[in-house]
């Protein structure tokens, strides 16, 4: 039987907080959501895949307003100046850094894919299941980080 490892919620939150503060500054903290949004967050999703000693997919989902704010801050432009191309690039880098730092918490060696970014949701493959979800809020806008890992051996859906 293969042991499927997953990062703890605290570890994932610590990674996101560090990345967020580095990119956006510490004026407005990113906080755990007191009342997580029950359904999907409408907006943008960015994902990276980890392969090797640890296998996983790390997804970051943000609403449209937060995506534009994040992109504006990262690129040093006004929020309303960001194009879809800007959003794709900035959110790709965001998930790359979050995914890379989550990967560093787990046993290696593993390889990080190039990021995939979409307006809307990104589907995971059927062999993956959600192992860890962190719902956060920044300046009133929701942000979700999800880590999916392979299902335990023998478990099928």
Partner 1 sequence: MHALIIDDSRTMRSILRRIVTELGFETSEAGNGQEALDLLEGGLQPELCLIDWNMPLMDGYTFVTRVRADPRWRNLTLMMVTTESEHGQIVRALAAGAHEYVIKPFTPDAIVEKLELLGLAVKEVPA
Judged by the rule CB under 8 A, the positions of this chain that interact with partner 1 are: 18-19, 22-23, 71, 74-76, 86, 89-90, 92-93, 96-97, 99-101, 103-104, 108-110, 112, 114
Nearer to partner 1, 54 or 146 (CB): 54
* Least gap, CB of 126 to partner 1 (angstroms): 26
* Least gap, CB of 45 to partner 1 (angstroms): 17
**Which helix (H) or strand (E) segment is 21 a member of?**
helix 9-24
CA separation for the pair 118, 84 (Å, rounded)? 10
Nearer to partner 1, 24 or 132 (CB): 24
CA separation for the pair 24, 22 (Å, rounded)? 6
* 8 A C-beta contact, residue 130 and residue 9: no
- Grouping H, G, I as helix, E, B as strand and the rest as coil, residue 125 is coil
* Least gap, CB of 62 to partner 1 (angstroms): 15
Backbone angles phi, psi at 122, to 5 degrees: -120, 125
Nearer to partner 1, 58 or 149 (CB): 58
Nearer to partner 1, 99 or 142 (CB): 99
* Least gap, CB of 113 to partner 1 (angstroms): 8
**Residue among 131, 79, 106, 101 nearest 19 (CA):** 101
């Amino acid at each position: 039987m293969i042991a499927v490892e997953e990062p703890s919620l605290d570890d994932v939150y610590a990674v996101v907080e560090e990345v967020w503060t580095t990119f956006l500054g510490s004026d407005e903290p990113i906080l755990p959501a007191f009342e997580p949004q029950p359904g999907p967050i409408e907006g943008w999703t960015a994902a990276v895949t980890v392969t090797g000693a640890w296998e996983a997919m790390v997804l970051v989902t943000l609403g449209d307003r937060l995506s534009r704010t994040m992109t504006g801050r990262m690129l040093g432009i006004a929020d309303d100046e960001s194009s879809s191309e800007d959003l794709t690039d900035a959110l790709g880098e965001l998930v790359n850094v979050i995914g890379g730092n989550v990967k560093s918490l787990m046993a290696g060696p593993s390889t990080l894919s190039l990021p995939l970014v979409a307006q809307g949701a990104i589907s995971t493959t059927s062999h993956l299941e959600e192992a860890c979800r962190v719902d956060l809020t920044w300046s009133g806008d929701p942000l979700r980080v999800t880590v999916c890992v392979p299902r335990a051996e023998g478990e099928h859906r």
